[in-house]
Amino acid sequence: MINIDDFKKVEIKMGKILSAERVEGSEKLLKLMVDLGEEAPRQILSGISKVVPEPESLVGKIVPVASNLEPRQMMGMESQGMILCADDKEPVLLHPARDVKPGSTVK
């Protein structure tokens, strides 16, 4: 178990997906451009391709993002965050009950 101080280190913000496409050479990864209310959108790679048959269907969706993780290289590209999903034998995207501004924090 972690204590509350460790949990508070994780910054979770709501992000709006601006674009989504498959990553060539990967069966699992999608490349997403996500607006987190910052100066420029972030590129985030996410292993949700198998549960999202049409990546374009994600455009406009608001999703939670772990936004203060160190960048990670995957398939020769940099991922600048992590889309948070529920795990029900496969990833399930989470959405707020109503629209919120990109960059809104999750507490």
How many other C-beta atoms are found inside a 10 Å radius of the C-beta of residue 65? 27
pLDDT in tens, 8-18: 999 999 999 99
pLDDT in tens, 25-79: 999 999 999 999 999 999 999 999 989 989 999 999 999 999 999 999 999 999 9
pTM of the predicted model as reported, rounded to 2 decimal places: 0.93
Chain centroid to CA 28: how far?
14
Who has greater pLDDT, 42 or 107?
A: 42
Cα 28 to Cα 25, 81, 90, 103: the distances in Å are 9, 17, 12, 26
Q: Provide the greatest CA pair distance for the chain.
A: 40
